[in-house]
Chains A and B, each alone.
Chain A
Amino acid sequence: MSKSYRDGLPVTSEEFVHQLMRLRRGSIGRRDFLGLTGLGIATAVLGRELGLAPTPARAAENLGDRMSIATWPNYHDPATFENFTKDTGVAVEVNVFGSNEEMLAKLQAGGSGWSLFVPTNYTISTYRKLDLIDQLDMAKLTNFDAKSEDARFTAEGTIEGVVYAVPKNWGTTGFAVNTKKLTKPMTSWKEFWDTAMAEGDGRTMVHDYQLTTIGNALKYFGFSFNSLKPDELAKAEELLIKVKPHLFAVSSDYQPAMRAGDAWMTMCWTNDGAQLHRDIPEIAYVLGKEGGEIWTDFYAIPKDAPNKPAGYALLNHLMNPQVAVKEHIANGAPCTDARVNALLPKEVLENPILYPAAELLTPLEFGAAATLTDPSRAELMARFKSA
């Protein structure tokens, strides 16, 4: 669902309500609520303006007093930004987005105001091509250590030997199943789609996102997740249109419906899968054995960033393993940095949702830039949604 039209707000109202509901259900604490919705930061900014907070002593470089970051919902430990503000005096405004395309559209339109943002692997080459992101000045990122990063996940941040982005975390796209409602064990995308038309009739959700919805339909036939071949796409379309009347919803906001028991099965990203399973143990997370998507989210600095010094300072803060480890515990996505993995508690590292067995990871594919911008896939998605 699109979420970017309430620009300038720390969170979209939709996200705000979502967080408010989570607060009411007790699935997050009040402190988290204030942080996630930006109310805490807003209060901090107000406090500073009114002279209520002490002025930070440390001001080695002139970082200004505020900056803005564009990122994803439920993606950070609120304390990360609060500590950064305490250390540097820079208040962080958090903008939450629903899709990479929205971020791209906003950045391309200019004047986004972000000094740091979180693009996914397949968009970085496009940002580079459109000359929207800066080459990173690695000298300013003393906490980053290329040697401790797993090259599999970092490759797409570097284009022709130049580093444009450094990784935040990686993850997979599988599906979540309520095993009390759908008791038959499932291990493949074939079973996902077949169940959607049988026991899961009226209870299955797919993403409102062509990359994953078409990609995982292609996996039914064993084709590449990134396929652009007309005959393969035609078969995927046939499957999608056959499944359409059996679906509960076409939406990427699947947590509420899964939690309420309205939906029993949904396409799902790692961190959502981990959160659902943590709160409702009967919800399992499955990686299709045919493959599917693996992804990495990166940090990058926009060319027109209004406060680059603060952008670098926050990025360096986030690359500190002591900070990053708390980020990972909070958002639940697996980490690319060996130094951070060494600090993570055992139950996180042994959680098969976060760190799946190697043989399940082998067939996974990174989404390609061409897959995302391909007009024929966009038209296919429109035909699916209007069918």
Chain B
Amino acid sequence: MPGSPLRRKLLTTLLLAPAGAWLIVFLVLPFIAIIIFSVGERAPEGGYQAALTLTQYANLPARAAAFWNTLILAPVGAFACLLVAYPVAYYLALKASQRWRLILLALIVIPFWTSLLMRTYAWMYILGGRGIPTLLAYVGIEDLRLINTPGAVLLGIVYGYLPLMILPIYVSLERLDRRLLEASADLGAKPVSTFFGITFRLSLPGVTTGFSLVMILLLGEYLIPTMLGGGKVFFLGNALVDLFLQSRNWPFGSAIAVTLVLVSVVVLIIANRVSSRFSGARQVDLI
């Protein structure tokens, strides 16, 4: 039913209202609260006490190690995910038969139905003394410790975030125009240069989407280093949990949270720039 412009405008507003209200109540207002907290002071018994000071931000270097560890973990973890995910996505999109593709996609997605906490807890037992090390002891490799090592953390990260990397890459490869590959071969390009000149470049939007998705989640990662790394390596997520729940220094925690959000936004902007420069036309939908 074609209505007057006013009615159409009203309808649009009504349809957007739920999402807008949701964003304001659960994103904008809490973020404003965090910003207000971050210029406050810690009350003597912990918590927040009103003030207007930049002390908390000046204090950020006290968590320099956590920032540093996180800024290394996030790209390294995302890159490890990429290395594992790309061949899988490539096989799925370009090589697998229709039937296999469905089965494999299901296998990738189904573990997501279980909480990451449960799956990480399972790894604690697989890597723990009664898991793989017991099996290895049968073949003569004794006293090997897998749990609470950097390798265990990396394994947990790749395992946990792999689907988030595979799916966007798969989607961008699946839309690949195969005639371009044929043209490249006809013009005498070797498979390697076809791959880097065409396939990889055209999949870059998927790669950057996957990379920034995984990286942003890793910037706030808390669970995997705690459970598979024995809590020995201190990331920003761990610093935040301690400040809010242990020492109850909410203003300092808020200052770190605000800084973390800013870092995440910078990562997104860079990813977006990289993506649009290399792929030309298509825009990434993250921001």
Write the residues of chain A forming the contact surface with B, with a CB cutoff of 8 angstroms: 1-2, 4, 13-14, 17, 21, 99, 101-102, 104-105, 108, 126, 129-130, 202, 205, 208-210, 244, 247-251, 256-257, 260-262, 373, 375, 378-379, 381-382, 385-387
Contact = CB atoms under 8 A, between A and B. Distances in A.
A4 B234 contact: no
Contacts of A102: 245
> 4 closest Cβ contacts across the A-B interface?
A249-B230, A378-B247, A386-B234, A386-B65
Given A375-B249, A378-B247, 8 more contacts: A13-B115, A248-B230, A249-B232, A262-B148, A378-B249, A382-B63, A382-B239, A386-B63
Chain A, interface SS category: helix
A373 B45 contact: yes
A251 B247 contact: no
B248 A105 contact: yes
A44 B158 CA distance: 41
5 contacts: A101-B248, A105-B248, A247-B232, A250-B231, A382-B247
Q: Which of A4, A129, A262, A373 has the most CB of B within 10 A?
A: A262
B232 A381 contact: no
Nearest to B231: A250
A261 B129 contact: yes
Contacts of A251: 226, 230-231
B142 interface: no
Given A104-B46, A108-B47, A385-B238, A260 B128 contact: yes
Contacts of B270: none
B262 to A, nearest CB: 21
B242 A105 contact: no
A385 B235 CA distance: 10
A249 B148 contact: yes
A328 B225 CA distance: 35
Contacts of B63: 382, 386
B232 A250 contact: yes
A126 B69 CA distance: 35
A4 B65 contact: no
Interface centre among B69, B124, B244, B246 (most CB of A within 10 A): B246
A379 B230 CA distance: 20
B66 A386 contact: yes
Contacts of A130: 45
B82 to A, nearest CB: 27
B144 to A, nearest CB: 11
B118 interface: yes
A126 B239 contact: no
Contacts of A381: 242, 246-247
A262 B147 contact: yes
Contacts of B247: 101, 210, 375, 378-379, 381-382
A1 B231 CA distance: 9
A303 B115 CA distance: 35
B121 A14 contact: yes
A261 B130 contact: yes
Contacts of B249: 375, 378
Contacts of B145: 202, 262
Contacts of B42: 375
Contact of B118 (A4, A17, A244, A260): A17
Contacts of B239: 382, 386
Contact of A262 (B129, B242, B246): B129
